[in-house]
Amino acid sequence: MTDFEGLVAVVTGGASGIGLATATLLSSRGATAVALDLHPDVPDPLVGIRADVSDDASVQAAVDEVVQRFGRLDVVVNNAGIGAQGDISANSDEEWLKVLNVNVLGITRVSRAALPHLRRSPAAAIVNTGSIAAWAGLPQRALYSATKGAVHALTLAMAADHVREGIRVNAVAPGTADTPWVGRLLDSAPDPAAERAALNARQPHGRLVSADEVAGAIAYLASPLSGSTAGTVLAVDGGMHGL
């Protein structure tokens, strides 16, 4: 693993789950790691800045603050996301637009604000968090899956647009990962322990993906170790997508 000494990284949704694990890993490898989050309480030495990726002014102000405080921006991890349950009839148009606004436009907003700074970095990388939901045809996840399919497609398009200016764009596609998000879903089941055991058993490798494993893939795609990789969506799912 290469190090991120002297680099500045922002991680949206960086105060919980995969985002927190990613910010922690990048920080441990030398980056100044900034969590942009609705609830930006993060442990030292991480930096938390409040930002709502569904609001353009909030995103611009947060990116401006990062560059003002730390002088540069090298790595953007577009990880903030929200879920939705049900088939296509379950959610109103307003709900569709709300989730699209966070999961897809959140990426374009943060990336757009970051681009002028990334163009000045010798180590510029954007990593988006997609999902196995884009590939697996999960039941009762129509809206969420559609947004993550858009994230994967957007990743390829962004890579094509920006690789020639030295900005690599890639994505990870986690399987079911052991984060507070999934913990909340399990806790709402009648028997959370039994539900967790069943969920573990459904994974090809017999357990949930860890947030640290997704963070490792993100850090790889953000680092020069993947210097010739652009427009890739890296599965971190125990092989689930191949089944």
Q: Please list the active-site residues.
A: 144
* Least Cβ distance, residue 115 to ligand NAD (angstroms): 19
* Least Cβ distance, residue 165 to ligand NAD (angstroms): 26
* Least Cβ distance, residue 219 to ligand NAD (angstroms): 15
| Single-letter code of the amino acid located at 73 | L
* Least Cβ distance, residue 97 to ligand NAD (angstroms): 13
- Whether the ω angle into residue 139 lies within 30 degrees of 0, i.e. cis, is no
Joined tokens for residue 137: 């045809």
Cα–Cα distance, 107 to 101 (Å, whole number) = 9
Cα–Cα distance, 145 to 150 (Å, whole number) = 9
Cα–Cα distance, 12 to 110 (Å, whole number) = 9
Q: Which is nearer to ligand NAD, 2 or 96 (CB)?
A: 96
CB atoms inside a 10 Å sphere around CB 89: 7
Q: Which is nearer to ligand NAD, 53 or 123 (CB)?
A: 53
Binding-site ranges for ligand NAD (CB under 6 A): 12-13, 15-19, 37-39, 51-54, 79-82, 102, 129, 131, 174, 176-177, 179-182
Q: Which is nearer to ligand NAD, 22 or 123 (CB)?
A: 22
Q: Which is nearer to ligand NAD, 105 or 167 (CB)?
A: 105
